[in-house]
Amino acid sequence: MTFQDHGAHFITATGHNGVEGAPALYFRRAFDTGNDLRRATLRITAVGVFEAHLNGTVIGDEVLAPGWTSYRNRLIVSTHDVTDLLVPGENALGVIVGEGWALGRLGWEGKRNHYSDQAGVYFELALETADGTEYIVSDTTSRANIGGLRANSIYDGEDYDATLESHGWDAPGFDDAAWGSVEVLDWPMESLAEPIAEPIRRTEELTPVAVLTTPAGRSVLDFGQNVSGRVRFTVEGQRGSTIELRHAEVMTNGEMDYETIRGAKATDRYTLSGRGPETWEPRFTFHGFRYVDVEGWPGDLKAADIVAVVTHTDMERIGWFETSNPLLNQLHSNAVWSMRDNFVGVPTDCPQRDERLGWTGDLNAFGPTAAFLYDVRGVLGSWLTDLAIEQKLSGNVPWVVPDVLSTPSSPTALWSDVAVSLPWTLYREYGDEDILRASYESMTSFIRQVAGLLDENGLWSKGFQYGDWLDPDAPMDNPAGGKTDRHLVAAAYLCKSTREMAQTAKVLGYTSDADEFTALAEKVRDAFRHEYVAPSGRVVNETVTGYALAITFNILTPEEKAHAGKQLAGMVAKAGYRISTGFAGTPLVTDALSSTGHLDEAYMLLLETGCPSFLYPVTMGATTIWERWDSIRPDGSVNPSGMTSLNHYALGAVVDWMHRTIGGLTADAPGYKSMRIAPHIGGDLTHATLRHNTSHGEVCVAWKLEDNRVILNVSIPAATTAIVDLPLHPDNTTVHIEAGDHQWDYERIVAEQQSYSMDTPLGVLAGTPEVWRRVSAVFAEHLPGIPIDGTAPEAAAMSLNTIVEFIPGASQALIDDLTAAVTPEGANA
Ligand code: BGC
């Protein structure tokens, strides 16, 4: 929408220089209204972040407005109905403006003022009466000053001195004669834009679960959950005394550990006015934290004194999932929290350190999970709008959106192809073709750009790639240096994105584009197969990620896929169900296993707790998803790589598999107009419940095992249909259902109890995931570092008795533990 010009300008305080540590600006505009006011509407935004007040009251419930967008192209204007806040006669509008994302430091390179050197405000207050509308606008008649808010920074925190606040500055009757003048700030008026995303709001308050005194004598509050936000407290004490709050995600050796916040200071300071109980919450910062070190609190610090205020984009929750396994439930909760904590205006990598950028690859990995858990059409629609604008301006999809990196981005698999895969994911989830239409130009330009980069064989084989970022076997200082060839990763992701592009063109009816992209998709798939797939289906760069990509991106024929699945299952077993994938492979590996008939192995991988694994962080007390599989190492220390966050959602993408496979819900038609409901029961789970508010209404799938019976309850909304595969049904029954509630209750197939011994061939043991897991654990304990591969041809035929004979001086303890591992009682050991 275009904004009508009623004379408002962006204004700043005369002489204000926007340097680091500068106090926030306070603007004030007094005006009169008559008795005949019908309606008053305020439209307001800022270069920086703002809080608006009218007659002494804070307007609305948004925080950190206007959020973060590609400001010079799109600066979001908030609209508030303020009729009830106005009084006949004199009124006063006040606005505090902090540095926020527009002026503050962004990125680990220490650079600031990415969008402007000066902070500013723009407002237009429309006063409607019977005689017409009068506009009170931001112009040079406003006054400006500084007040209690001495310094504010997203990364470093806020410093507020209540002794310096002018009482009543935002109310009528205040004398602003001593305040300074304002001047016009040069800012592109065409940037003014209506919001697409929901605003950032306070969404929850947490009270501390513990008040600690550390060995060093520090007072620390533990909120029990890693969150994004800040604290609020009410305090009484001496004028001029200062409380200092320092935030961290983790404590090690009983003390606060600031390693994971890197160069962010995450420190808030409040100096008391001494005027009775005073309540404070920082305005223009947020921290990623679970613990707060409190210094200078007058008297004894009690849990009731301080709350954590969870702050993020206020999206609507639409997906829930719960099982009989508490560790899995915690993993799910960790993914939900990492999503909440990282959707602060834009979808970020992490909320705590000197980064918090809109990294494209992280979101591409987590996109399907995010779209199921929350309605992200607003926040990601807004983000994709900026992505498209910045892509058009620079010619590349930026690695971070909005782009503030000094290194120019280049086309990169999993990162840049979010331009295609995210709109496709959102379309599949919400069923709205307009999502594809809005992104179509961005999608096609990315795909055509990459098409121009392919080598003579049709492979994407040149240029920088992040590869399987953070593969646990990559060197600590080179997260892109994983086991899987980076160009294999790129070529595989291109198979996926070109197919999605071709499907998009078909959905939108662009026939010749559809032909072009279908041909391209076939070409890149052929190129991948030619370069990386043996005729048997073996993927030449034999890694778990390599197989996961080839299997899930439909690159293989059914026969090859079956062979690849077998190879993959063997590799996963050989690794003792420890995870061996990074950002590119992790979202796919469980799918690759379950879609090739290796459900047991998928569950084994999901339920493994050793380091590194999906559940290892849960066993270490994680309340969010970590950036690295071993962000906290088994000895309790923080991974010292310098890039360790405890709140990165990307590796939580497995939760999408949990929804689709354990919960069993997938959309057959976009937006769940028709769906497939096929829960896959395994991993000793005895029940699971999934709920999802689709655009057609609520879907609920709940199954439980009772003795030998399966009880399945499904309800689907009006005007939808589903095909239901009854899990563990003796006749493999599939049913078509229509809207309404459905229940099935039947006797399930019970797998025959196999018996194993020290004479069972290794190949057979290796084919039974739980037994193999116990056997590998015994070998790992007694003979650490010696790999044992039960599927290798030379080993598969041997029994444990034979193997033990080969081990010089095999201890009786080894033999006893192996015997226990293969007997049914071993299961209970
Ligand atoms: C971020 C990531 C991101 C990566 C790519 C990191 O610093 O935290 O999650 O995707 O850089 O370079």
What is the 3-state secondary structure of 383-397? HHHHHHHHHHHHCCC
Q: What is the pLDDT of residue 85?
A: 97
| 188 shares a domain with 102 | yes
**CATH assignment of the domain containing 65:** 2.60.120.260
pLDDT band per the 50, 70, 90 thresholds, residue 765: confident
- Tell me the C-alpha distance between 720 and 138, whole Å: 51
Q: Which atom of ligand 1 is nearest to the CA of 361?
A: 10
Between the CA of residue 322 and those of 349, 423, 448, 690, what are the distances in Å? 26, 28, 42, 7
Confidence category of residue 829, pLDDT binned at 50, 70, 90? very low
Q: Please say if the pLDDT value at position 804 is more than 90.
A: no
**Same domain for 26 and 87?**
yes
Residue 785 included in any domain? yes
Which residue CA neighbors atom 12 of ligand 1 most closely? 466
Residues forming a β-bridge with 567: none
Cβ within 8 Å of residue 57, ≥6 positions away: 85
Distance from Cα 349 to the centre of ligand 1, integer Å: 7
pLDDT of residue 383: 98
* Same-domain pairing of 680 and 790: no
Indicate the average pLDDT of the chain. Answer: 95
CB of residue 349 inside a 6 A radius of ligand 1: yes
Residue identifier of the C-alpha nearest atom 2 of ligand 1: 349
| Res. 345: pLDDT tops 80 | yes
pLDDT at position 493, please? 98
Which residue, of 747, 779, 794, is where some domain finishes? 747
Q: Is residue 694 part of a domain?
A: yes
Measured distance CA(701)–CA(708) in Å, rounded: 20
355 lines ligand 1 (CB under 6 A): yes
Closest atom of ligand 1 relative to the 648 alpha carbon: 9
Euclidean distance between CA atoms 473 and 483, whole angstroms: 7
Tokens representing 93 are 């509008």
Is the shortest distance between the CB of 648 and ligand 1 below 6 Å? yes
Residue nearest to atom 1 of ligand 1 (CA): 349
For residue 350, the ligand 1 atom closest to its alpha carbon is 8
Going by C-alpha positions, the residue among 373, 308, 307, 364 that lies closest to residue 340 is 373
| pLDDT tens digits along 80-111 | 999 999 999 999 999 999 999 999 999 998 99
Q: Are both 590 and 521 inside the same structural domain?
A: yes
- pLDDT digits 0-9 by tens, 664-684: 999 999 999 999 999 999 999
Q: How far is the CA of 393 from the centre of ligand 1 (A)?
A: 23
Rg of the chain on CA atoms, in Å: 29
Q: Is 361 in the pocket of ligand 1 (CB under 6 A)?
A: yes
Read off the tokens for 780.
């790992």
- Token match 């001494």: residue? 274
Q: Is the separation of the CB atoms in 30 and 91 below 8 Å? A: yes
| Residue 583 CA, closest ligand 1 atom number | 10
- Does one domain contain both 433 and 558? yes
Atom from ligand 1 closest to the CA of residue 362:
10
Distance CA 655, CA 665 (A): 12
Task: Kindly tell me if the per-residue pLDDT of 166 is higher than 90.
Answer: yes
For residues 128 and 147, state if they share a domain: yes
Which of 313, 335, 368 terminates a domain? The answer is 313
CATH code of residue 544: 1.50.10.10
Q: How many angstroms separate the alpha carbon of residue 529 from the centre of ligand 1? A: 30
CA distance 688 to 709: 15
**Biggest CA pair distance of the chain:** 101
Burial class of residue 708 (count of CB atoms within 10 Å of its CB; 0-12, 13-18, 19+): exposed
Residue 185 has pLDDT above 70, yes or no: yes
CA 702, CA 743: separation in Å to the nearest integer? 10
Say yes or no to pLDDT of 2 above 70: no
Kindly tell me if the per-residue pLDDT of 794 is higher than 80: no
Please tell me the distance from the alpha carbon of residue 570 to that of residue 361, in angstroms, as a whole number.
Answer: 29
Token pair recorded at residue 13: 């305080």
Q: What DSSP element (H or E) covers 562?
A: helix 558-574
- Asked whether residue 566 is assigned to any structural domain, the reply reads yes
- Residue of 260, 469, 646, 647 with the most ligand 1 atoms within 8 Å of its CB, for mutation: 469
Separation in Å, CA 361 to CA 366, 401, 419, 475, 629: 9, 11, 10, 20, 17
For residues 793 and 687, state if they share a domain.
no
Confidence check: pLDDT of 76 > 70: yes
Q: Quick one: three-class SS letters along 502-540?
A: HHHHHHCCCHHHHHHHHHHHHHHHHHHHHHHECCCCCEC
**Identity (one letter) of the amino acid at 82?**
V
Strands 319-323 and 267-271: unpaired
In a domain, 5, yes or no: no
Rounded to the nearest angstrom, the distance between the alpha carbon of 51 and the centre of ligand 1 is 31
325 inside domain: yes
Active site residues: 355, 627
Residue nearest to atom 8 of ligand 1 (CA): 349
Higher pLDDT, 795 or 173: 173
Residue 825 is predicted with a pLDDT of: 60
Is 535 domain-assigned?
yes
Residues 306 and 403 occupy one common structural domain: no
Residues in Cβ contact with 275 at an 8 Å cutoff, skipping those fewer than 6 apart? 162, 239
Q: What is the pLDDT of residue 463?
A: 95
Quick one: 621 and 496 in the same domain?
yes
Q: What does DSSP say about strands 120-129 and 37-47: parallel, antiparallel, or unpaired?
A: antiparallel
Q: What is the pLDDT of residue 766?
A: 81
Q: Summarize pLDDT for 466-488 with one digit per residue, the tens.
A: 999 999 999 988 999 999 999 99
Ligand 1: centre distance to CA 646 (Å): 13
Among the candidates 685, 720, 747, a domain finishes at 747
Q: Which two tokens stand for residue 72?
A: 């010079």
Residues 89 and 172: beta-carbon distance below 8 Å: yes
Mean pLDDT over 722-746 rounds to: 96
Strand-pair category, 287-295 with 219-235: antiparallel
Q: Please state, in angstroms and rounded to a whole number, the distance separating the CA atoms of residues 720 and 674.
A: 5
Residue 253: its pLDDT value, please? 96
Name which of 426, 324, 330, 312 is nearest 372 in CA terms.
426
- Asked whether 362 lines ligand 1 (CB < 6 A), one says yes
Tell me which amino acid residue 712 is.
L
Using the atom order of ligand 1, give the atom closest to the CA of residue 108.
7
Could you give the percent of the chain with pLDDT greater than 70?
99
Cis peptide before 612 (omega within 30 of 0): yes
Q: Compute CA 307 distance to the chain's CA centroid, rounded to the nearest angstrom.
A: 24
Q: What is the dihedral of CA 185, 187, 191, 195, to 10 degrees?
A: -30
Residue 561 lies in a domain: yes
Residue 571 belongs to what domain range?
316-626+637-662
Whether residue 108 sits in one domain with residue 192: yes
150 and 130 within one domain: yes
Same domain, 582 and 569: yes
Q: Band of the pLDDT at 711, cuts 50, 70, 90? A: very high
Distance 418 CA to ligand 1 centre (A): 14
Ligand 1: centre distance to CA 356 (Å):
10
Task: Note the pTM of the prediction, 2 decimals.
Answer: 0.93
Tell me if 359 CB under 6 Å of ligand 1: yes
Identify the CA nearest to 422 among candidates 467, 466, 348, 368.
Answer: 368
pLDDT tens-digit series, residues 355-400: 999 999 999 999 999 999 999 999 999 999 999 999 999 999 999 9
* Domain count across the chain: 5
Residue 136 covered by a domain:
yes
Q: What is the DSSP letter of 470?
A: T
| Terminal Cα-to-Cα distance of the chain (whole angstroms) | 67
Res. 750: pLDDT tops 80: no
